[in-house]
């Protein structure tokens, strides 16, 4: 039943994505011809908003665009990745000329080089000028275009920050060149590559050999993923590989989950407000997206702080929550709880009473806060030693 619902939802996502696609003619001076583009903007896209969106460039868009658009719609619906602008390039009979390469290096050559310059010097600047784009660009290529997208790695600053190579048909020494380039990267790059057990044998063999070279690379700027799918062919691997690629590339973007809380937050050396602020700063640095920290995530960190018996983190998270949303009682409540646990009764009462004037939290209402206040007011004031006006840390 669950799988059936998932299938229905995926079909609806694809149908909705298709309905929202616009087609555009682009006149290229590099190619001396006109190319047709498919462009899908995020749902409720607002050109006046300050919100920025990653750009996903899809090669061979006549057959690859819809699988990408459907998967992006599915994952953004569940906030598993940021809302993105998808740009597909319809290549058709020009595909062979677009992917033309040097037989030794595998790099674009002649008509392939002109197509490369069309992407780098015309298409991407145009998309950046027309839409609210972030700095994060993703290239998706399959087969010959899977080989081609790797050429964008070789600029001093790679054109794309993420590469989704779906059964790439490596040409010449391209795979060796890629391994050498990725080893010496000085910019953050996500690199994903996939094959399958029923893939075309020569392509599969080269991919698997390339994986041997890539998986041993030790470069802090490289995030590398590889999948060898079971039961798929050269063509059917596309949907499963896309799902895995986007899921992994945007893993940091997702809300905190149990695995991250257990493996990273729990043993974190320092207060947990620093952990979450640094996490979201990295999202901004990598994806060019200013994503707000949710109250639900702060609550998860409060729970971890309790497990760590880390009362200081409770206070710091409360203080951060007040900064993020001053109208919510969340931050003031946990600052009051911190004071209560330290035995600073007068300060705790004062903070709890302040929390009563603010917006309620979903899980802690006014009655619950009042129970704290009433309980503390019976405590003898002469046991209070703190200065109410003294600020913590």
pLDDT tens per residue, range 197-222: 999 999 999 999 999 999 999 999 99
pLDDT for the residue numbered 379: 59
Mean pLDDT of 149-164: 97
pLDDT for the residue numbered 393: 46
Indicate the pLDDT class of residue 373, thresholds 50, 70 and 90. Answer: confident
Query: What is the tens place of the pLDDT at every residue in 219-261?
Result: 999 999 999 999 999 999 999 999 999 999 999 999 999 999 9
Tell which residue, 94, 84, 163, has the closest CA to residue 127: 84
How far is residue 100's CA from residue 109's CA, in Å, rounded to a whole number?
6
Query: What is the tens place of the pLDDT at every residue in 10-31?
Result: 555 544 544 489 999 999 999 9
Residue 208, both tokens: 């698997």
Tell which residue, 270, 301, 323, 243, has the closest CA to residue 13: 243
Query: For the chain, what percent of residues have pLDDT higher than 70?
Result: 91
Q: How many CB atoms lie within 10 A of CB 22?
A: 9
Mean pLDDT of 296-317: 97
Note whether 120 and 65 are within 8 A (CB): no
Domains recognised in the chain with CATH numbers: 2-253 (3.40.50.1820), 258-383 (1.25.40.10)
Q: How many CB atoms lie within 10 A of CB 36?
A: 15
Strand ranges of the sheet holding 33-40, from the earlier edge strand across to the other edge: 22-28, 33-40, 85-89, 53-58, 133-143, 162-168, 189-198, 222-233
pLDDT for the residue numbered 378: 65
DSSP state of 80: S
User: What are the contacts of 253-257 at 24+ separation with CB within 8 A?
Assistant: 253/80, 253/81, 253/82, 253/283, 253/287, 253/289, 253/291, 254/79, 254/80, 254/81, 255/79, 255/294, 255/296, 255/297, 256/297, 256/300, 256/301
Q: Which residue is associated with the tokens 């990598």? A: 286
How far is residue 250's CA from residue 246's CA, in Å, rounded to a whole number?
6
Query: What is the tens place of the pLDDT at every residue in 281-304?
Result: 999 999 998 899 999 999 999 999
Residue 329, both tokens: 């009682």
pLDDT of 6 strictly over 90:
no
Indicate the pLDDT class of residue 7, thresholds 50, 70 and 90. Answer: very low
SS3 of 371, please? helix
Give the CA-trace dihedral at 89, 94, 97, 98, to 10 degrees. Answer: 0
pTM of the model: 0.86
Note whether 60 and 91 are within 8 A (CB): yes
Tell which residue, 113, 115, 133, has the closest CA to residue 28: 115
Which stretch of 6-20, 174-188, 253-267 has the lowest confidence by average pLDDT?
A: 6-20
The Cα angle at residue 80 between residues 135 and 254, in degrees rounded to 5: 80
pLDDT of 337 strictly over 80:
yes
Note whether 192 and 249 are within 8 A (CB): yes
């Amino acid at each position: 039943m669950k799988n059936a619902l998932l299938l229905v939802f995926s079909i609806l996502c694809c149908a909705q994505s298709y309905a929202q696609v616009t087609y555009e003619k682009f006149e290229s001076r590099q190619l001396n011809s006109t190319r047709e583009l498919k462009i899908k903007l995020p749902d409720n896209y607002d050109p006046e908003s300050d919100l920025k969106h990653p750009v996903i460039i899809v090669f061979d868009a006549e057959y690859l665009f819809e699988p990408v658009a459907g998967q992006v719609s599915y994952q953004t619906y569940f906030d598993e990745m940021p809302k993105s602008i998808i740009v597909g390039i319809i290549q058709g009979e020009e595909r062979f000329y677009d992917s033309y390469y040097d037989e030794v290096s595998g790099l674009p050559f002649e008509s392939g080089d002109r197509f490369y310059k069309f992407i780098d010097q015309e298409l991407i600047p145009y998309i950046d000028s027309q839409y609210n784009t972030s700095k994060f660009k993703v290239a998706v290529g399959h087969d010959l275009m899977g080989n081609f997208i790797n050429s964008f790695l070789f600029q001093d600053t790679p054109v794309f920050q993420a590469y989704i190579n779906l059964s790439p048909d490596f040409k010449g020494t391209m795979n060796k060149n890629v391994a050498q380039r990725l080893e010496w990267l000085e910019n953050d790059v996500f690199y994903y590559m996939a094959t399958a057990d029923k893939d075309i044998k020569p392509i599969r063999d080269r991919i698997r050999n390339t994986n041997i070279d890539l998986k041993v690379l030790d470069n802090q700027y490289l995030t590398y993923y590889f999948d060898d799918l079971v039961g798929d062919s050269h063509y059917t691997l596309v949907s499963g590989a896309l799902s895995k690629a986007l899921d992994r590339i945007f893993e940091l973007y997702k809300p905190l989950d149990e695995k991250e809380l257990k493996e990273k937050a729990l043993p974190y050396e320092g207060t947990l407000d620093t952990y979450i602020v640094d996490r979201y700063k990295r999202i901004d640095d990598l994806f060019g997206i200013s994503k707000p920290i949710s109250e639900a995530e702060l609550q998860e960190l409060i729970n971890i702080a309790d497990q760590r018996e880390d009362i200081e983190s409770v206070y710091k998270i409360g203080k951060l929550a007040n900064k993020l949303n001053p109208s919510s009682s969340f931050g003031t409540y946990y600052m009051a709880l911190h004071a209560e646990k330290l035995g600073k009764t007068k300060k705790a009462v004062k903070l709890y009473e302040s929390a009563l004037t603010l917006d309620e939290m979903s899980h802690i209402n006014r009655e619950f806060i009042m129970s704290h206040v009433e309980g503390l007011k019976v405590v003898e004031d002469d046991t209070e030693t703190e200065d109410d006006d003294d600020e913590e840390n």
